[in-house]
Amino acid sequence: MTSSPAEELWKDSHSSSTLYCRPIQFSAIKENTTLVLSEENRTKDLISKLCSHTTVKMGFRIQYPTICFLQCPGQMHVPPVFETCQERGTDHKVISQERKNEIQAQFKSKMGLIVDKPLERQMAVILQDDYLQNAHQSLEMTGID
């Protein structure tokens, strides 16, 4: 398509070239550690060529994994006072529930946060400011050193 002989807007230089008409090459290679490492390095190189490697390494932002990491102590089950792995018997369950309620009450009174059972795949952005600014106090309330 040309508007005038002097001005050429578009021309298909390789209309039937083997570069564009050949089939995709597949390689049948047995997977091993060297192949996996080379593919990982190749992917990292492609990412670093496309955009900043540090921003994509842990997701789109570094802030997201940091918030999720610091939310864990507030959302995870607080270990009970007794040394067993499971809550067996009603007395152990009562002790565990009392401790959980006590920690929830401390979060509500000291920081104004309501810590309840987290929903699956939910990131509570509300916790971001209060929890990150008072991280030491939050860890102290849960008993994590």
Structure token digits, residue 15:
């209309």
Residues 114 and 82 in one domain: yes
Query: Would you state the structure tokens that stand for residue 133, as one six-digit string?
Result: 């600014």
Residue by residue, DSSP assigns 89-109 as SHHHHHHHHHHHHHHHHHIII
| Domain extent for 51 | 28-57
pLDDT at 29: 83
With beta carbons less than 8 A apart as the criterion, state whether 5 and 11 touch.
no
- Reference 70, options 116, 132, 125, 121; nearest CA is 132
Q: Is the pTM of this model over 0.85?
A: no
**Does 49 fall in a domain?**
yes
Q: Based on the fold, state whether residues 67 and 138 are members of the same structural domain.
A: yes
Give the other-Cβ count within 10 Å of 118's Cβ.
14
Quote the tokens at residue 102.
């006590």
120 and 53 co-located in one domain: no
Are residue 74 and residue 116 in the same domain, yes or no?
A: yes
Mark whether 109 and 137 lie in a shared domain. yes
Helix (H, G, I), strand (E, B) or coil at 130: helix
Per-residue pLDDT in tens (0 to 9) along the chain, 145 residues: 545 666 766 666 656 655 555 556 677 888 899 988 998 888 878 777 776 655 555 555 556 666 666 665 555 545 545 556 666 777 877 887 887 788 778 877 877 766 665 544 444 444 555 556 666 776 676 666 5
